[in-house]
Amino acid sequence: MRGSLAVILVIAILSQAEAQVYHSCPHAGSGAKVYENPLNERWLSAYDVKHYNLLLEVSNKSTEISGVSRIAVEATRAIDTIVFELQDALDITRIYINEDIKDHDFSTPLGFNHKDDAVYITLNREYVSGELFSISIFYEGEADQDRGFFAGITNAKDSDYGFDVTYTLSEPHNAKDWFPVKQVLEDKIDSVRFRLQCNKNLMAASNGTLVGMEEGEGNTRIFNWVTNYPMAYYLLSFAVADYRDFSFNAALTEAGDSVLVQNYIYNSDEVMADWEDEIVETGSMITSFSKLLMDYPFANEKYGHAMAPLGGGMEHQTMTTIHDFGFYLVAHELAHQWFGDHITCGNWQDIWINEGFASYLEYIAAQELRDQEAADGWMANAMSIALGETEGSVYVPAGEVDNTYRLFDYGLTYKKGAILLHMIRYHLNNDNLFFTVLRNYLDQYGNGLATGDDFKKILETESNMDFSCFFEQWYYGEGYPRFITHWFQQGDSLIVRSEQSATAPTVTPFFKTPFDLEIKYSDGTSQRLRLDQEAPVEEFSIPINGLVTNLLFDPDKYLLKSSSVIHQLPPDRLFTYGPNPVSEELFIQFINNSHIDEILITNLSGQAVMRYFNMENPVKLNLSFLADGAYVLVMNDANRTYQERIVKISE
């Protein structure tokens, strides 16, 4: 980021008592209601998920599945009933318990009640806190797809290439559509072994490492995937289709270190012709993000893609499900491996931790692998979309967590969420510090959960700055500021009056923020400075050396805002001139005139030194030959005469 010049003199036109109202920014989010799964307090919080061992028979032609889910758990309090979520359309045929989680027989059956998308299982005895046991649930059926875009499991035909695909998309609350699950973010699954049985002409993708393939019954094959990284429940996934494996390795930060990039793409030469270069570029992204943040967090396993007709992508841990390989889509889903997967939002209200961060990494990918012009284009588009959100907070209110479309609001969660990080980067005014904040945040909360407040704590600790106002206004607050900037030159001072209003004044009436100005001078030079808006109306007097011809507000477009700049002339004056004192060229401009009738320069005794008629407007006069001293500038325009005292000096 560019540095800024100090403002020597700042004059606030509001009284100090009035301005102090805006200096205090109490934390608006501290009393917000936190969303919780309705089943959690009574049932789901009674155990901790340790391990999944799944065997599912799947097809690329339907959402019909069958198999067994073996779940190892640890009791966290006395428990005689255990509850998992599973949609009613899937039939549970039998359930067993093993008190030794390493025992793989099915000798102790349990009774259960499956209703309202949950299965209530009566245990063989009471288990106390710290005891381990495993539950094996056999189930089958055709999953209900009448759940819209966010159905947990979907079968569809790709409209571009004609391949049939069955794939999962469990975020936020739809893992229960295809496997028995505890849908609580705080309880990451410690490890998974996932065996997927499908027709031999198909391939089945999932999380982690493919440790082997084995023959199944009939004309089937079993793909055996294993992951040992902690994983949020909604990131477990599979996709099955007629795929081919296109794999390579991507470099990490240490010489010789790399990670497997394993891509299950449609078995088509057309797909390779269309997307090979873009797929390969994933390796450059992994390397770049690893250098800026930390090494790819699941490097012992892989990163990969599985194609599916979902109209975008889903960041399933180590194996993104993706529609195509557009640059920004790939960057976004890859970024989630750090922000969303390695660190997962602590509550769905803090979905910014996932989506806002991944969206901003799209911008960073453009900076690193394209150029600043491409990054600026991305940010201009993001700003345009976010400016359409005149109300609504990035932080999701508790009452809207069950509204999936509100969670994933494109303008608020994605674009405004990304811009918040862009503005934090601007506030820090130090790229090394910005990426240090991100690295320390990943280091402290990796493999776990974090909220917006957790990130704020890291940010404040590393920067030694107070971001309370920022988060109150931009994260918990609504809307954005509107600026009107008036300016005029008064001798050797630039007078700037900044007026601010807000798009959601009843919620967030004011945004306390710095802003940049770029001052343009008549000689073609410019000056940057940073000011602080600490009240709705501020006036600044800025020392200058030259004639100001233009003023740009937020020239690098870091702030989410609307703005207008108005050039004001002093009262009763229809022209500007300068610099004064002048060493060589004097610039003169009348407003709304095509020419200037007469310009006369006299000494203080009234004797003419220079005289010009019918001059172009604006005009530059060469005064380098004049002796140093004071003169009178006389300008005739129509029926009026103007006089100004000027001083000639040598450089």
Residue 308 domain-assigned (yes or no): no
Q: What CATH number corresponds to the domain at position 124?
A: 2.60.40.1730
**pLDDT tier for residue 291 given thresholds of 50, 70 and 90:** very high
Residue 404 near residue 169 (C-beta atoms within 8 A): no
Residue 109 domain-assigned (yes or no): yes
Q: Quote the DSSP letter at residue 44.
A: G
Structurally, the chain folds into a number of domains equal to 4
Rg (CA), the chain: 32
Segments forming the whole domain that contains residue 579: 575-648
Same domain, residue pair 436 and 494: no
**pLDDT tier for residue 4 given thresholds of 50, 70 and 90:** very low
pLDDT in tens, 343-372: 999 999 999 999 999 999 999 999 999 999
pLDDT in tens, 229-279: 999 999 999 999 999 999 999 999 999 999 999 999 999 999 999 999 999
Q: Of 365, 372, 229, 227, whose CA–CA distance to 290 is shortest? A: 365
Residue 110 near residue 151 (C-beta atoms within 8 A): no
Q: What is the SS3 string spanning 168-237?
A: ECCCCCCHHHCCCECCCCCCCECEEEEEEEEECCCEEEECCEEEEEEECCCCEEEEEEEECCCECHHHCC
526-533 and 562-567 beta bridge pairing: unpaired
Of 223, 241, 259, the domain-final residue: 241
pLDDT in tens, 108-142: 999 999 999 999 999 999 999 999 999 999 999 99
**pLDDT tier for residue 6 given thresholds of 50, 70 and 90:** very low
**pLDDT tier for residue 145 given thresholds of 50, 70 and 90:** low
**pLDDT on residue 147:** 61
Q: How far apart are CA 430 and CA 66, in angstroms?
A: 54
Residue 302 domain-assigned (yes or no): no
- Residue 196 tokens read as 């997927």
Number of other CB atoms surrounding residue 519 within 10 Å:
22
| Residue 189 backbone zone (phi > 0: left; psi -120 to 50: alpha; other: beta) | beta
**pLDDT on residue 7:** 33
**pLDDT on residue 528:** 96
**pLDDT on residue 23:** 39
Q: How far apart are CA 617 and CA 588, in angstroms?
A: 8
Same domain, residue pair 122 and 227: yes
With a threshold of 0.95, does the pTM exceed it?
Answer: no
Q: How far apart are CA 263 and CA 275, in angstroms?
A: 11
Where helices occur in 42-198 by DSSP H, the ranges are none
Of 434, 452, 475, the domain-final residue: 475
Same domain, residue pair 59 and 129: yes
Residue 618 near residue 609 (C-beta atoms within 8 A): no
pLDDT in tens, 440-451: 999 999 999 999
Same domain, residue pair 131 and 198: yes
Residue 70 near residue 53 (C-beta atoms within 8 A): yes
Q: How far apart are CA 287 and CA 299, in angstroms?
A: 12
Q: 292 or 146: which carries more pLDDT confidence? A: 292
Residue 218 domain-assigned (yes or no): yes
**pLDDT on residue 645:** 85
Same domain, residue pair 105 and 192: yes
Residue 161 domain-assigned (yes or no): no
**pLDDT tier for residue 295 given thresholds of 50, 70 and 90:** very high
Instruction: List residues bridging with 449 in a β-sheet.
Output: 344
Residue 121 near residue 81 (C-beta atoms within 8 A): yes
Task: Supply the mean pLDDT for the chain.
Answer: 91
Residue 27 near residue 452 (C-beta atoms within 8 A): no
Of 189, 224, 241, the domain-final residue: 241
Torsion of Cα atoms, 192 then 193 then 197 then 202, to 10°: 70
Same domain, residue pair 14 and 77: no
Q: What CATH number corresponds to the domain at position 394?
A: 1.10.390.10
Number of other CB atoms surrounding residue 371 within 10 Å:
11
Residue 289 domain-assigned (yes or no): no
* Contact partners, residue 151, CB within 8 Å, separation at least 6: 143, 144, 145, 169, 174, 177
Same domain, residue pair 550 and 432: no
Same domain, residue pair 618 and 601: yes
pLDDT in tens, 615-626: 888 888 999 889
Same domain, residue pair 173 and 94: yes
Q: What CATH number corresponds to the domain at position 489?
A: 2.60.40.1840
- Decide if pLDDT at 178 tops 90: yes
Same domain, residue pair 531 and 466: no
Residue 324 domain-assigned (yes or no): no
**pLDDT on residue 647:** 86
Same domain, residue pair 510 and 621: no
Residue 272 domain-assigned (yes or no): no
Residue 561 near residue 481 (C-beta atoms within 8 A): yes
- Determine the Cα angle at 495 with ends 493 and 500, to 5°: 155
Same domain, residue pair 192 and 134: yes
Q: What is the SS3 string spanning 225-253?
A: EEECCCECHHHCCEEEECEEEEEEEEECC
How far is residue 65 from each of residues 30, 39, 114, 167, 198, measured CA to CA in Å? 44, 25, 18, 12, 10
